[in-house]
Amino acid sequence: MDGPEPCRIKQDDGEEQIDLMEENKVIEELMEAGKKHHDTCPQCGKSFSCEQTLNLHMKFHSGMELYECDQCEKIFKLKGNFNEHMRIHTGEKPFACDQCGKNYRHKGNYNDHMKSHSGEKPHSCDQCGKKFIQKEHLKKHMSIHTGEKPLRCEQCGKSFTLKETLYKHMKIHTGEKPFACEQCEKSFIQKGQLNEHMKIHTGEKPFTCEQCGKSFRKSSVFKVHLRTHSRERIYSCDQCSKTFFRADFLKDHLTVHTQERPYVCSLCAKSFRQMGTLKTHLKRHSGVKDHICSECGKTFFTVYALRKHQRVHTGEKSNQYSHSDKTFTWPEYLKIHETIHTEEKPHTCNQCGKKFRLKGFLYEHMKIHTGVMPYTCDQCGKSFRHKGNYNDHMKIHSGEKPHSCDQCGRSFIKKERLKKHMKIH
Domain boundaries, the chain: 1-120, 121-202, 207-258, 373-422
| CATH domain 373-422 topology | Double Stranded RNA Binding Domain (3.30.160)
Do 376 and 259 contact (CB within 8 A), yes or no?
yes
CA distances in angstroms from 78 to 16, 81, 86, 106, listed in the order given? 8, 5, 13, 15
* Residue 296 main-chain phi, psi, to 5 deg: -125, -5
In the beta sheet, which residues pair with residue 103? 96
pLDDT for 391 equals 84
The model's pLDDT over 213-246, given as tens digits with 9 standing for 90+, comes to 888 888 888 888 887 777 777 778 877 767 887 7
Q: Give CA–CA dist 153/391, Å, rounded.
A: 48
Confidence check: pLDDT of 34 > 80: no
pLDDT for 52 equals 67
CA distances in angstroms from 149 to 126, 158, 411, listed in the order given? 19, 9, 63
The model's pLDDT over 245-271, given as tens digits with 9 standing for 90+, comes to 778 888 888 877 777 788 888 888 888
**3-state SS, residue 85:** helix
Q: What is the mean pLDDT of residues 372-385?
A: 84
The model's pLDDT over 284-321, given as tens digits with 9 standing for 90+, comes to 888 888 888 888 888 888 887 888 888 788 776 544 44
Q: Give CA–CA dist 295/139, Å, rounded.
A: 55
pLDDT for 358 equals 78
| CATH domain 1-120 topology | Double Stranded RNA Binding Domain (3.30.160)
Most confidently modeled of 42-46, 140-144, 285-289, 417-421? 417-421
The CATH number given to 207-258 is: 3.30.160.60
Q: Do the domains spanning 121-202 and 207-258 agree at the CATH topology level? A: yes
- Residue 274's contacts (CB-CB under 8 Å, 6 or more residues apart) are 252, 255, 263
Q: Which class does domain 121-202 fall in? A: alpha beta
**3-state SS, residue 99:** coil
Element (H, E) at 122: none
Q: What is the pTM of this model?
A: 0.32
* Residue 257 main-chain phi, psi, to 5 deg: -75, -40
40, 46, 49, 50 alpha-carbon torsion, rounded to 10°: -50
**3-state SS, residue 172:** helix
Confidence of residue 165 (pLDDT cuts 50, 70, 90): confident
Interhelix angle 51-61/25-33, rounded to 10 degrees, is 120
The model's pLDDT over 116-131, given as tens digits with 9 standing for 90+, comes to 888 888 888 888 888 8
